[in-house]
Amino acid sequence: MEQDNSKEASYMYRMEAKLPKMPLNDYIVRYKQTGDEQYLRYFLHCYERTLNYRTRMYCEDYGLLSHFEDIKQIIVITMLEQLEKYDPDADASLITFTELHVKEAVHNYIRQHCRVLAPTKYDYGNLRKVMAINNENLDLSETERVDKIAEETGLNENKIRMHLHRGALFLNSVSFDEEPEDADEDYIPLIERVADIRSDPEYIILKKMFYEAIVAAVDGLSFKDKHMILSYCGLERFKEWFNEVDPLPKELLAAHLHVGKIQVVDDNFKRAVKTLRVELEKQGWA
């Protein structure tokens, strides 16, 4: 039975009492001011319809509708866990402030309980060996390549396929290189822009290390600068990586950050990028 179809799962925070009418995030602000948990209940009651939609999107993306109730609870728990760190004066709602934390928590649950592969730490030594052997034998069938890798490395089939999957993700990862679009403004995958990198497994590791350095530098920015960089570039944080999303229009970004003019958005972006460049140079990246 799919839990998301049950009334109990969809409306577990419904209240019959009359609620004070105010903007959604004001319930959180009032809770922070008074410590009265009743305002948290008001917030969840009003947010639940959107919460259900948000949860259903995660479930449908991975075909996990039977996990609806668990994923919904993970979203709520993560938001409440971050509530202590939330500053209402930071010009961001609690939902916006916790967005990256929620995504990470949900994807952690999916990886741990739904057999979706995305380990937080990786065996780069064996990854390099597996990819090197695989790319040297592309004339063989996939099964023959797996057998050959097993013979030369001693790894079992599951681990070999795990490494091949991860290697493929690295090869097709988002690039920070300039001119990522062709003449028709279509995104060109990294593998099509860097010649034949399949023959160079070292490149995979170098690219991964560079991404980790960028992620660390971005996470070191203030909340506003981090939001600026990601929204301006059309990126979102996902675990130890970035996903591509639609860039936030500068008019909306200016409104969200309360900076007024688009020129101020551009200036702030350039300043944040300069900060990132300095941090990357400290880590040894040109």
pLDDT at 74: 92
**Does 214 lie in the same domain as 225?**
no
What's the pTM value of the predicted model, to 2 decimals? 0.42
**Does 93 lie in the same domain as 17?**
yes
Alpha helices (runs of H) in the chain, residue ranges in sequence order: 7-10, 24-34, 38-62, 68-81, 94-97, 99-113, 124-136, 142-153, 157-171, 190-193, 201-219, 223-233, 250-257, 262-282
Q: 11 is in which domain, residue-wise?
A: 3-113
Classify residue 85 by its DSSP letter.
G
Please state, in angstroms and rounded to a whole number, the distance separating the CA atoms of residues 71 and 76.
9
241-244 and 235-238 strand pairing: antiparallel
State the angle between helix axes of 201-219 and 157-171 in degrees (0 to 180), rounded to the nearest 10.
70
**Does 240 lie in the same domain as 158?**
no
**Does 214 lie in the same domain as 194?**
yes
Please state, in angstroms and rounded to a whole number, the distance separating the CA atoms of residues 152 and 233.
43
**Does 106 lie in the same domain as 7?**
yes
pLDDT at 105: 85
What is the mean pLDDT for each group of 10 consecutive residues in the chain (286 residues)?
A: 54 83 91 91 91 86 78 92 87 86 82 51 68 84 91 88 70 41 45 41 58 79 83 77 77 75 84 84 67
Given 218, 235, 263, the domain boundary residue is 218
pLDDT at 63: 65
**Does 233 lie in the same domain as 189?**
no
- Tokens 């990198």 belong to 197
- Of 64, 54, 61, 29, the C-alpha closest to 43 is 29
**Does 107 lie in the same domain as 73?**
yes
**Does 130 lie in the same domain as 106?**
no
Given 171, 199, 218, the domain boundary residue is 218
Can you read off the two tokens belonging to residue 137?
Answer: 């034998």
**Does 164 lie in the same domain as 89?**
no
Number of domains the chain is built from: 3
Question: DSSP per residue over 25-70, as a string?
Answer: HHHHHHHHHH--THHHHHHHHHHHHHHHHHHHHHHHHHT-GGGHHH
Given 70, 90, 113, the domain boundary residue is 113
**Does 269 lie in the same domain as 201?**
no
